[in-house]
Chains A and B, each alone.
Chain A
Amino acid sequence: MNLRRLGTSLIAPLLGVGISIAVTSVILIAIHAQPLAVFSSMIKYGASAHAMTLILNLATTYFLSALAVAIGFKMNLFNIGVNGQYTLGAMVGGAVAGSLHLPTILSVPITIAVAMIVGAGWAGIAAWLKVARGVSEVISTIMLNFIATAIISYTIVRTSVGHETSLNVRGTAMIPESGMLRGIPLLDPKTEIYGFFFISIAIGILYWFVLNRTRFGYDLRATGHSATAARTSGIDAKRMTVITMLISGALAGLVGLPYLLGDAGSYNLNFPTDWGFTGIAIALLGRNNPIGIAVGALLWAFLDVASGQLILEGVPREITTIMQGVIVIVVVMSYEIVRRNQVKSEQKNVARALEKQEVSA
């Protein structure tokens, strides 16, 4: 039975990858490229130690972003605001880290705490609007994303928080080396695996434990399944909404940090701003399960990193964005089909069992 469940839950992702390869091949042939050559060059590059390190690092970011989205999904909350939460968190965290001159053991935890608090605070506005004023979090977080963008550009362009950084673009002050969380060159002697890679594994385990092994996690999942049923069993749904949104925001606050503390050293105006949407896609692929999300994050990061190789094959790297889009659409559709078939087969089983009872009675 368990094996069967595993099988059915693998159908959707495999179908997604398969169909997206097929669609991509058609497109590649249409632009006179060789699909096999393209895919093999992506895989060959992706398997190199250098690329694997880059993939792990990028996957770390995606994993955190998807977890932030997933915890909301578990409760039917749709946090589209991860973009705003993490960019604000990373900017304030970067500004604080840039002004601190403390040993790493103090500076990094302070930066992490600041980024999480800012992320949670920004998500908290949406939470308050939802429980106190009945505003859908989908719309409020979209608005808050736009507002965050304006706040960041104002702060960096017009206040003393912003400086000219070495890259000729304005950003927060460069973080001193003691404030950075560099990594270890585990696979490739020349590139480091972010320190945050290991932190995010711990966060993934904690996420699983809290959701599946604690009273809070039970309440959360129960509210997600049926708010009315949860209320009758004594769960304060409003309180759960606020707490979940705050946790989601706090996790989102972490999203920018692997790159900020492992690589960039300053939040500047070129900092990527749409990792939140990637997180939504990966949470969908991984069905809000930490292992599924990890696999999804690795797949996504592989496509992103290996796409850099495509220019050598004369193919625009955006072909992988199409692959990603197709994967998501096919996977969500097939999850739905699989779910319906499961319901149908369960109903049949129940009907059969009932029939037997009637016959024997």
Chain B
Amino acid sequence: MNILKQRRMFMIAFSAITILSITRTFTDNSDLTSADTISQALGFAVPIGLAGLAGIWSERAGVVNIGLEGMMVLGTFGAGWAGWQWGAWAGVLAGVLFGALGGLLLAVAAITFGVDQIIAGTAVNLLAVGLTKFLAIVLFTNAPGGGQAQSPPIKGSIPNITVEAIANPLITLHDKGIFFISDVAGLVAGLFYQLSLLSVITFGLFAGTSYILWKTRFGLRLRSAGENPWAADSLGVNVVKYKYLAVTFSGLLAGLGGAYLSIASTIYRNGNTAGRGFIGLATMIFGNWRPGGTGAGAIMFGYIDTLRLIDTGNKNVRGLILLGALVLFVIGAYLMRTGKRSTGTAFAILGSVMIGAFLAAKNFPPEVAQVAPYITTLLVLATASQNLRPPAADGVPFRKGEGH
């Protein structure tokens, strides 16, 4: 089983790099696999991934968390407010605390009061935005360098790590432009090049979550609260306690994601999250409520975002279209082989249309890259939602003593 899984992972990685490499060669665009791009993509992926991870914690315990966006907003604010006065690490701490408070609010409304979870989450979002806008005006307007909608600059920063011994030779290798080999070099170099310490922490949180939720007794109990809380309760698990812990920790992670955003842009700004909490939710769903898939989804979002933002010669979007088309062909072929004829054909047709567009036009508007992650999410959900399995009691209010 494990060997099969490893082989599949290897095949996926191998095909992904091959596709990237083909696209890079065809479009003559070394940016697609450069260390710089990968490093930035990881940076963009961090807040989205943290939001997705936050979603996993909450929903694995059976609480749908639409309030992630609000908790992230609280995190951005906490980081701006404390970071401006006491430095970046204090900002991280405050962001995490503020996010956890948002999580606690959702927990009180959804668990203790049994309010519909989606409604409670929406209310948290509303309140978080109102509160932070208000506090920004009160606290930042007269502060030196601050304004009505933004904090003064955050003092200091979180260090970036570059392992030159690994990164430099790989970057040289990447610049040689050899098919496949240079691309692997670029991708690996990106992992050791200007990597924020917070990215490393995030990676640790993903690994830690995998371990805690799936390999420990604590995790089993927490997940049992999301699968069948009544059975867990009858076995003596304190379901309410686990749900509270999970949702508060979820807020904490979302807050960390928010703090990362503020620190990366050196200030708190109204609306800096730009819906990343919701995007995190999407990555969680197509990651099938598991850390691995969620992380991969976040990296995809981050990668596409990066290509759009560093697009100087207007060629990255065109590269992305070819990339998307090739991915569609590969998945289409896989689907056809596994007997899903009609879906496979649909993928192939869509891929052909994109190839057509790629050949026909030299310039594409950046909006194409802007919508790509969302359309990808919809495509994944539309084709794979039968294979996705949310926790069985996700979104169902639990009342001790009220059986189901």
Contact = CB atoms under 8 A, between A and B. Distances in A.
Interface string A256-282: 000000000000000000000100110
A186 interface: no
A324 B113 contact: no
A329 B127 contact: yes
Contacts of A154: 365, 367
Nearest to A128: B382
Interface stretch (B42-50, B159-167, B228-236, B277-285): B277-285
A284 B119 contact: yes
Nearest to A31: B138
Nearest to B278: A142
Contacts of A78: 118
Contacts of A316: 133-134, 137-138
Interface residues of B, number: 43
Nearest to A159: B365
A336 B119 CA distance: 12
A134 B131 contact: no
B130 A324 contact: yes
A139 B275 contact: no
Interface residues of A, number: 40
Contacts of B355: none
A143 B138 contact: no
B113 A143 contact: no
A185 interface: no
Given A146-B374, A158-B365, A319-B134, A328 B126 contact: yes
A333 B119 contact: no
Q: Would you call the interface of chain B mostly helix, strand, loop, or mixed?
A: helix
Contacts of A318: 130, 133-134, 137
6 contacts: A133-B385, A135-B382, A151-B371, A318-B134, A325-B128, A329-B105
B282 A143 contact: yes
A136 B127 CA distance: 25
A56 interface: no
Contact of A333 (B109, B118, B133, B285): B109
Interface in B105-132: 105, 109, 113-116, 118-120, 122-131
Interface string A289-325: 0000000000000000000000000001011011011
Contacts of B275: 142, 146
Nearest to A154: B367
Contacts of A328: 122-123, 126-127
A147 B138 contact: no
B189 interface: no
A316 B130 CA distance: 11
A281 B279 CA distance: 21
Nearest to A331: B123
B385 to A, nearest CB: 5
A190 B120 CA distance: 41
A354 interface: no
A156 B275 CA distance: 22
A358 B244 CA distance: 44
Given A136-B285, A139-B281, 15 more contacts: A133-B383, A134-B385, A135-B382, A142-B278, A147-B375, A151-B371, A281-B123, A318-B130, A318-B133, A324-B130, A329-B109, A329-B127, A332-B109, A332-B119, A336-B115
Contact of A135 (B105, B367, B378): B378
Given A150-B367, A316-B134, A321-B133, A281 B381 contact: no
B278 A322 contact: no
B66 interface: yes
B122 A280 contact: yes
B113 A333 contact: yes
A138 interface: yes
Contact of B134 (A138, A142, A284, A321): A321
Nearest to B124: A329
A144 B129 CA distance: 22
Given A143-B378, A146-B371, A332-B120, A281 B278 contact: no
A11 interface: no
A129 interface: yes
Nearest to B130: A321
B386 interface: yes
A324 B131 CA distance: 10
Contacts of A340: 114
B123 A332 contact: yes
Given A147-B374, A318-B137, A322-B134, A329 B123 contact: yes
Interface string B259-290: 00000000000000001001101100100000
B113 A325 contact: no
Contact of A325 (B126, B137, B278, B383): B126
B382 A129 contact: yes
A325 B130 contact: yes
Contacts of A325: 123, 126-131
